Amino acid sequence: DDQVDSVVLMVSEMVTNVLVHTDGDALLVAEAAGDLGTRRLRVEVADGSDELPHKRQPGEMASSGRGVLLMEMLADDWGVDPRGEGKSIWFELHERSKPDADALD
């Protein structure tokens, strides 16, 4: 499923950024809410760094700098919430309804 691939890619990007750009601990929280067909997945990574992510224009061969671009392309919604100490980066995906098999008959 494309949404599963998107989640894996975005979580990997967020966790990698914590490992590369911070010295402290991080907290990852994933929450699925809603009824079948209308569920929402929210994934949040909080860290102690005050440095906020910013959009870059990486070259074709660049090995970094695509995090914000990925969030913009793949997430239904995303954001950064500065905290008293550190920040929280999050994204949401909304379940894509699959056609009802009975409705296709």
* Residue 102 located in a structural domain: no
Could you tell me the CATH number of the domain that includes residue 24? 3.30.565.10
Query: Mean pLDDT across the chain, nearest whole number?
Result: 83
Q: Would you say the C-alpha torsion 54, 43, 72, 60 has a positive or negative sign? A: positive
The model's pTM is 0.79
Residue 103 within a domain: no
- Contact predicate 14/46, CB 8 Å: no
Please give the residue range of the domain that contains residue 8: 2-55+62-97
pLDDT in tens, 4-13: 999 999 999 8
Domains held by the chain: number = 1
The yes-or-no verdict on residue 57 having pLDDT over 90 is no
